[in-house]
Amino acid sequence: MKNLVLALLVSMIAGCAGVYEPVPKGYGGATAEISDSYTNLRSTSAHYFILDKIDDKDVAQSWGQTRQANYGQGFRFTPSMVTRKVLPERQKLTLKGLVFFPTDAQALFGNDMSVDRDIIFTPKAGEKYTVKGTLGKTGSKVWLEDSAGKVVGGDEGS
C-alpha cells in the first residue's frame, strides 16, 4: 500500500513538471477522445478509472487533477474528470483503476484494490471512449468502452 501511495505521489509531482500531449500543438486532423470515470462515490473516497499513459508517457489524468482541484479541503472532495483528445492511430494505452482518497493519511491506511493493464488500441476518429472498471477485494478489472458502451480495449474478464 505504501508503494502505491509513493508511486502516485511521484506521478503527481512528475505530472506538475509536464505531461505528454497526445495531440501535437497545431494539429488540425482527426482525433478521438478518451475520458476517465469514477464510481462508488462516498464522502471520503471514490473508485477512479483512468488513462494513465500513452506509449509509456504520462498523460493528464483525473487522480492528479482531483487532488489539485480539492487541495486544502481535508476529507471533502469533488471528482474532477479528465477528457483528452488522442490521435486515431495504433498506440499502447495504460489503463488504471484505483481508490481515490482526498488525503495522504487515508491513502496510507485505505484499501488497495488497484489494477492496471496495457492495451494496444487504435481509436476511431470522432469516437468518444471511456475508461471503466470495477474494484473489489476479490478482484479488480479495468477496460475501455466506446460511446455505445461496447468494450473495445480489453474485456471485463481480464
Confidence of residue 15 (pLDDT cuts 50, 70, 90): very low
pLDDT at 146 over 90: yes
Q: Say what the pTM is.
A: 0.80
Backbone angles phi, psi at 60, to 5 degrees: -60, 135
pLDDT at 158 over 50: no
Q: Where does residue 52 rank: exposed (0-12), middle (13-18), buried (19+ CB within 10 A)?
A: buried
CA neighbor of 119 nearest in space, from 86, 90, 148, 157: 90
- pLDDT per position as a tens digit, 75-134: 678 888 999 999 999 999 999 999 887 666 566 666 678 899 999 999 999 999 999 999
Confidence of residue 151 (pLDDT cuts 50, 70, 90): very high
The total of other beta-carbon atoms located within 10 Å of residue 148's CB is 8
Please give the span between the terminal C-alpha atoms of the chain, in angstroms, as a whole number.
Answer: 22
What value does the mean pLDDT take over residues 61-66?
A: 83
Tell me how far the alpha carbon of residue 46 is from its chain's centroid. Answer: 13
C-alpha cell recorded at residue 32: 478521438
Contact between 117 and 144 (Cβ < 8 Å): no
pLDDT at 8 over 60: no
Confidence of residue 14 (pLDDT cuts 50, 70, 90): very low
pLDDT at 147: 97
pLDDT at 51 over 70: yes
pLDDT at 1: 46
